[in-house]
Structure 1
Amino acid sequence: MDTTTYRAYTNIALIKYWGKRNKELFLPVTSSLSLTLNEFYTETTLEWNTQSNEDTFTLDGQILDINAIEKVSRFINMFRDLSGIHRPVHVKSTNHVPTAAGLASSASAFAALASACNDLFGTNLSNKELSTYARRGSGSATRSLFGGFTVWHKGIGDESDSSYAEMIDEADWDIGMLVVMINKEQKKISSRVGMEHTIKTSPFYKLWPETVAEDLEAIIPAIENRDFPTIGQIAEHNAMKMHATIIAADPSMTYWEPESLTAMNIVRDLREAGIPCYFTMDAGPNVKVLCRLSQAEEIKKAFEKHFSSDRLVISGPGKGPHKIS
């Protein structure tokens, strides 16, 4: 085999990952839980590079600079070392999700790349094992190795293999999201920088691991029981606690924009009108509305009074990465 192509989907965390305890191994401070979405994905082709002795990387049709290539090469080196095949490759990746805008583009990107590497280098890792490798490219990529509701276990100490992901529910029921595109541009403060600043300076951060553990313990049985209101309430509160911790950093910072607040208020108004829906936000201004998929069109119409329809995307649950050629 000389080439392989995989598609992987992004995921949106309902119980957030915010902070690493080991930067080199990408080991998180807390466990986390997400829902994979079928409308946002990355397609990555990996092939042996017969034109150069070095790795090359094309993203969305653009040849990337040396810094980006070095990061990708370090990631691929794990599979070269595991397989014993030390050959240069060409990576061609296309993001069907805005890059670095708080929509987890890195999750789908490194999940697709990990899957393609596993195939091309013949390493035959299980999804559980592969999730420990995908984590080294992007923490949230660990969860994009699976569909539905997925838990990323924080693991024990510095034991890399103990921090892995697993799907706990296929989400093959009436649940989905409306994604509100507040700003598709690359965010000014990266997640990595934001995490480090929050850990170092926010007085609230010491409480973060404890509250995440409580939220995770409560949301898993709610998912098992398909108790949508409880799932939504926990997810929304968890997101607000994360952002409160970020805002409390010194100097203070926020990923919110004015329209982010508008979107939150629309969700609250819809709930008061009897339509159950809940918002969550990651490290970016875009708002994701967790809802019953059967009510997503009705919710979208309410948002269209304030946002143009091209900024609103309804998504159902997604699946894990799969080979497309």
Structure 2
Amino acid sequence: MKNIGRCRAHTNIALIKYWGKRNNELFLPMNSSLSLTLDAFYTDTSVTLDDTLTEDVFYLNGIKQDKTETTKINRFLNLFRETAKDNTFAKVESYNHVPTAAGLASSASAFAALAGAANSAWKLNLDKQTLSTYARQGSGSSTRSIYGGLVEWNMGEGNLSETSHAIEVDDASWDLGMIIIAINKQQKKLSSRVGMRQTVDTSPFYPVWVTEAKKDLIDIKQAIHEKDFIRLGEITESNGMKMHATMLGATPPISYWEPDSVKAINKVKEIRNNGIPCYVTMDAGPNVKVLCRQSQMSDILNKLEESFTNDQLICSKVGEGIRELTDEEWSY
């Protein structure tokens, strides 16, 4: 037997951040979050069920991965095997068009694509909401990459896994865009998972962060409903800075920033002060994301080029949700 599923998923950048889990095994978050799916970064993944295999095998960008990485994939695929009541092993081939572990949401697109491909290979026909609960158990933020546009990750209730899922909020077709300022594309020294746990366990500011994130989510959803870009940007920037302030309160303090991160933030503020609305956000990494109007992206880009090189600046439109790939599209 050789059933093949192939899927593409795009990254998402959280405007209201997820930082911290209430259940580390099920990847259940302390607070709900909201993101924008981007078309510039994506992962293509195929899952081939092969009854001649004696274990799962995993290739990333054409390179066979070691036991540690393959074990992560094995555990994730077990969710689908259990549902399908089929213990067939799989060959997984994943091509990541995102710098890995650099704070550019590579795990979000990776596990969303893997979930979609597994769903197809095992012919489970899971709906997107259910599939988002599976993707979440590979990487929390991947639950949001199941959908395109603006997406909420509902934190859910207690330890009930099925209640923590993604919700499509808005197609974001009202002139939204994002520019990524790639300060450093190398793998970060402190993983998000370790950073989250350390922040939850040691930062005295953490309870306030959770309360503020809940308020910010309510406010940003109202801004989206009114298509108020200025308010959307203000809340986005404020929420991201509060998350990083909470990390600085951890023991020892956590900072993913580099000197050029500060340089980028100041440059964006300068552009904004000169009349072009644009707002920064940052995840667990030094790279800065600039939320802007798509129609003003080229003007902002010209200003950013005064301080950063062309290869550091990546423009993105709004991305779509996961979709199956045809044989013709799978050209690796």
Compute the TM-score of the two structures, normalised by the length of structure 1: 0.99
Equivalent in the alignment of 2:140:
139
**Structure 1: which 4+ aligned runs deviate by more than 3 Å?**
none
**How far is 1:50 from its partner?**
5.3
Partner SS state of residue 2, structure 1? strand
In the alignment, is the contact (CA less than 8 A) between 2:27 and 2:136 conserved in 1? yes
Percent identity, please. 53
Q: Which amino acid aligns with 2:130?
A: E
Between the aligned partners of 2:276 and 2:161, the Cα distance in structure 1 is 43
Between the aligned partners of 1:32 and 1:284, the Cα distance in structure 2 is 18
For residues 146-199 of structure 1, give each alpha carbon's deviation from its aligned partner in whole angstroms, at most 9, with x where no partner exists: 000000000110111110101110011201000000000000100001001111
- Residue pairs, 1:230-241, within 5 angstroms: 230-241=231-242
Q: Structure 1 residues 206 and 59, CA, compared in 2 at 3 Å: closer, same or farther?
A: same
**How far is 1:224 from its partner?**
1.2
In the alignment, is the contact (CA less than 8 A) between 2:6 and 2:120 conserved in 1? no
Compute the TM-score of the two structures, normalised by the length of structure 2: 0.97
In the alignment, is the contact (CA less than 8 A) between 1:182 and 1:285 conserved in 2? yes
Q: Which amino acid aligns with 2:177?
A: G
In the alignment, is the contact (CA less than 8 A) between 2:57 and 2:92 conserved in 1? yes
Q: Which amino acid aligns with 2:7?
A: Y
Equivalent in the alignment of 1:224:
225
In the alignment, is the contact (CA less than 8 A) between 2:22 and 2:29 conserved in 1? yes
Q: Which amino acid aligns with 1:103?
A: L
Equivalent in the alignment of 2:330:
none
Equivalent pairs counted in the alignment come to 325
Between the aligned partners of 1:308 and 1:129, the Cα distance in structure 2 is 42
Partner SS state of residue 321, structure 2? coil
Equivalent in the alignment of 1:94:
95
Equivalent in the alignment of 2:199:
198
Between the aligned partners of 1:269 and 1:317, the Cα distance in structure 2 is 25
Equivalent in the alignment of 2:257:
256
Equivalent in the alignment of 2:329:
none
In the alignment, is the contact (CA less than 8 A) between 1:49 and 1:55 conserved in 2? no
In the alignment, is the contact (CA less than 8 A) between 2:102 and 2:188 conserved in 1? yes
Q: Which amino acid aligns with 2:83?
A: L
Between the aligned partners of 1:168 and 1:261, the Cα distance in structure 2 is 31
In the alignment, is the contact (CA less than 8 A) between 1:131 and 1:142 conserved in 2? yes
- Residue pairs, 1:1-325, within 5 angstroms: 2-49=3-50, 52-325=53-326
Structure 1 stretch displaced more, 296-305 or 27-36: 296-305
Between the aligned partners of 1:110 and 1:311, the Cα distance in structure 2 is 26
Between the aligned partners of 2:271 and 2:56, the Cα distance in structure 1 is 50
Partner SS state of residue 40, structure 2? strand
Between the aligned partners of 1:4 and 1:83, the Cα distance in structure 2 is 14
**How far is 1:51 from its partner?**
5.2
Between the aligned partners of 1:176 and 1:159, the Cα distance in structure 2 is 35
Alignment RMSD, CA only?
0.9
**How far is 1:49 from its partner?**
3.1
Structure 2, unaligned stretches of length 5 or more?
327-332
Partner SS state of residue 305, structure 1? coil
Partner SS state of residue 4, structure 1? strand
For residues 261-309 of structure 1, give each alpha carbon's deviation from its aligned partner in whole angstroms, at most 9, with x where no partner exists: 0000011001110000000000000000000001111111111111110
